[in-house]
Amino acid sequence: MMKLIHEPDPILKQKSESWDFKNHINAAVVEQDMLVIMKANRGIGLAGNQVGLLRRVFVMKLVDGREIGCFNPWIMVGDNDLKDDQEGCLSFPNLWLKVKRHNKITAAYLDNTGKQCIIELDGVDSRCFQHELDHLDGITFTEYVSDLKLQMARKKQRKLNG
């Protein structure tokens, strides 16, 4: 059974392997299980390695309310309008960091049936897609800030976590 994994679990730093629709467990079941965990933890995105699954899959809730499962996702185009904004992560409770990301992207992924989808995202949706895609490459949002900024954020995190 899948469960949310927290830092410092080393799986969060591992690169995920491609999703194989022929040889892996049912994609629709994985998508639903991940959406349940994401919503139970009040998140807007959740990557496979955050639930112990080293496969290229993540789920996210778009600003318009749609929930999508993205299998073998990639970014086709990112604009040069980089925005610095606050991010959190379910695997790093109460840690908030300012991260610079593309404001608009055109992305592609396979849905749970293996059909290719192309989507244009901006703002929070774009940020979430990029954050979750990083997870699949073993990159966490803590790697985008200086040691000093991370130390300061960790201090606030400790206070919030009691």
Assess if residue 109 is contained within a domain.
Answer: yes
Catalytic residue among 31, 87, 132, 143: 132
For residue 14, is pLDDT > 90? yes
pLDDT at residue 23, as a whole number? 80
CATH code for the domain in which residue 90 is found: 3.90.45.10
Give me the domain span that covers residue 129: 10-161
In the predicted model, what is the mean pLDDT of residues 104-128?
98
Looking at the structure of the chain, the number of domains it has is 1
Assess if residue 2 is contained within a domain.
Answer: no
**Closest Cα partner for 38 from 88, 87, 4, 72?**
4
Beta pairing, strands 92-102 & 82-89 = antiparallel
Assess if residue 1 is contained within a domain.
Answer: no
Helices marked H in the chain: 27-40, 123-136, 147-161
* Sole residue written with tokens 């908030």: 96
In the residue annotation, 132 being an active-site residue is answered as yes
For residue 36, is pLDDT > 80? yes
Listed as own residue / partner, the contacts of 151-155 with beta carbons closer than 8 Å and 24 or more positions apart are 153/95, 153/96, 153/97, 154/95
**Closest Cα partner for 14 from 129, 142, 134, 118?**
134
Whole-model pTM?
A: 0.96
pLDDT at residue 1, as a whole number? 79
Q: Among 18-27, 43-52, 76-85, 108-117, whose mean pLDDT is lowest?
A: 18-27
Residues 142-152 as b/e (b if ≥16 CB within 10 A, e otherwise) read bebbeeeebee
* 43 — pLDDT class (breaks 50, 70, 90): very high
Q: Tokens for 79, please give them.
A: 């604009």
Assess if residue 5 is contained within a domain.
Answer: no
In the predicted model, what is the mean pLDDT of residues 106-112?
98
